[in-house]
Amino acid sequence: KNFPPGPQPVPIFGNLLQLNLENPTADLERLSARYGKVFSLYFGGRPAVILNGTKAMREALVTKATDFAGRPGGLLLSHLTQGKGVIMADHGPSWREHRRFALMTLRNFGLGKQSMEQRILGEVEHVAAVLEKSIGKSVDPQTLFHNASCDIICSIMFGARYDYEHEFFQAMIKMMADNSKIANGPWGMIYDTMPLLRSLPLPFQNPLKAYCTVKHHVLGIVEEHRASRSPNQPRDVIDSYLDQMDKRKAEEDSLFNEDQMVVMLLDLLFAGTDTTSNTIRFAVLYLMTHPDIQERCQREIDRVLEGKDQASFEDRHKMPYTQAVIQETQRIASTLPLSVFHCTTKDTELMGYHIPKGTLVIPNLTSVLHEEGQWKFPHEFNPDNFLNEQGELLKLEAFMPFSVGPRMCLGEGLARMELFLILVTLLRRFQFVWPEDAGQPDYTPVFGVTQAPKPYSMMVRLRESQQG
Ligand code: HEM
């Protein structure tokens, strides 16, 4: 009763046949124009509420934060992780404690401090070395940027980075990219809506298998850590977790155990790889095809870093234009278009509608990041969206690529540091050029849990200031 309105569902499929499952973004926009900022859809027999626009998003995720902080079960992503870890864990003590642990550990390993910066800057040197070998050639940077962001997370979690060619490392990256594509794509939708088909040998079996293989390997890394660690002298996230398990051994029903640890590690890898690297790929695509914007960033970077060997995260305060370019990339790219699905934890109300406990909630972040009335230029790439007349960086309520509320991205600090240090270091050294024979750039994203640009080629040149 008084459930948000939406198109009429049909038996078995619900509204599935009315959506382009390869990329439902345009359908969601059309439905929101017809039914309003809060509307409903049926995935098979399961009702879902779609949140659109800044007002509905904030009312649900901030004002009524607890009511909307759950995670749905019964989906491909929740089956992969069995509801453990952080991302797909339901709102409860285990999620709360693991979220707190992950945030605290990231902070202890120097988020905002020197050591995390050094890990990122170290990784950028590997990227720069590969790019230097590509000078004057056309290359697709997809693999390179995936490798770099995955390696940064690996070094924080496992204490070591991998060579980009390492077999396990490559398997892990492939698993993450494939799973992201499948989970929000047609096969993921079929898995989510038609439980009877789940045991059939269909493509959604692949992510389940790939996840198990990577999980098995991570268990091996945990075993190595057990053998080589010194208690209370953590080298990385695994050691910290083992310390935490020791500390809580005496507790009956401790929430910290090996199974939870492995899922949490995979969560952080999964959440931290494609998100950051796809954002960097979008940034390079827009900078190549807007050379005036690229040059303006480079002038700012040169001025602020004059006489310094390396950039530091603190330098961002002196680089409002570069920050505006990074934020504008995040806005236009909308890397997690439908965020991560939420679920109501109790019967609640939203914008006058009744929403029962356990309802699937889909925050359409793209609808906020491209919302008319919130942005000076909602549909074009323009850093002025984030700058005032004086060229100062604006803080805007509708800028929520990391979502908002108690479930918002816990890697935001790390992601922002990575985006800044990687882009600033590379732009200082290289010029990125859209190849002459590449035709018109196509900015249309490839839809998935994380959205990616279509594969493209870039030309790399050493900047004049860096030559000889
Ligand atoms: C540009 C990069 C990134 C973007 C745009 C991004 C965005 C998001 C979004 C939209 C969510 C869903 C929030 C919600 O459900 O309301 C999320 C959740 C999450 N992110 Fe990120 N993220 C990024 C990078 C990272 C990194 C580097 C890490 C980890 C090291 C990370 C870890 C997580 C985790 C663990 C969650 C689940 C939080 C929870 O359920 O409590 N993310 N992220």
Name the residue with the closest Cα to ligand 1, atom 9: 402
| Within-domain flag for 464 | no
| Within-domain flag for 4 | no
| Within-domain flag for 460 | no
Q: What is the CA(463)–ligand 1 centre distance, in A?
A: 34
CATH number at residue 407: 1.10.630.10
- What pLDDT score does 370 carry? 98
- What pLDDT score does 467 carry? 64
Looking at the structure of the chain, the number of domains it has is 1
| Within-domain flag for 451 | no
Q: What is the pLDDT of residues 357-414, one digit of tens each?
A: 999 999 999 999 999 999 999 999 999 999 999 999 999 999 999 999 999 999 999 9
| Within-domain flag for 465 | no
Q: Is 403 in the pocket of ligand 1 (CB under 6 A)?
A: yes
Overall average pLDDT of the 52-79 stretch: 95
| Within-domain flag for 55 | yes
Q: pLDDT at residue 112 above 70? A: no
pLDDT band at residue 110 under the 50/70/90 scheme = low
Name the residue with the closest Cα to ligand 1, atom 6: 402
Closest CA to 193 of 3, 383, 48: 48
| Within-domain flag for 89 | yes
Q: pLDDT at residue 286 above 60? A: yes
| Within-domain flag for 308 | yes
End-to-end CA separation in angstroms for the chain: 73
Q: pLDDT at residue 165 above 80? A: yes
Q: pLDDT at residue 308 above 70? A: yes
Overall average pLDDT of the 297-322 stretch: 97
Q: Is 275 in the pocket of ligand 1 (CB under 6 A)?
A: yes
Q: Is 401 in the pocket of ligand 1 (CB under 6 A)?
A: yes
C-alpha dihedral, 144 to 147 to 153 to 154, nearest 10°: -150
Q: What is the pLDDT of residues 193-230, one digit of tens each?
A: 888 888 898 888 888 888 888 888 899 999 999 999 99
Q: What is the pLDDT of residues 41-53, one digit of tens each?
A: 999 889 999 999 9
Q: Is 143 exposed, middle or buried (0-12, 13-18, 19+ CB in 10 A)?
A: middle
Binding residues for heme: 409
Q: Is 77 in the pocket of ligand 1 (CB under 6 A)?
A: no
Instruction: Determine the atom of ligand 1 nearest the C-alpha atom of 335.
Output: 5
Average pLDDT, the chain: 93
Overall average pLDDT of the 240-256 stretch: 91
Q: pLDDT at residue 468 above 70? A: no
Torsion sign over Cα 336, 207, 214, 95: positive
Tell me the best of 116, 367, 409 to mutate to test the pocket of ligand 1, counting ligand atoms within 8 Å of each CB and taking the most. 409
The whole domain housing 204 covers 16-431+440-446
Q: pLDDT at residue 328 above 70? A: yes
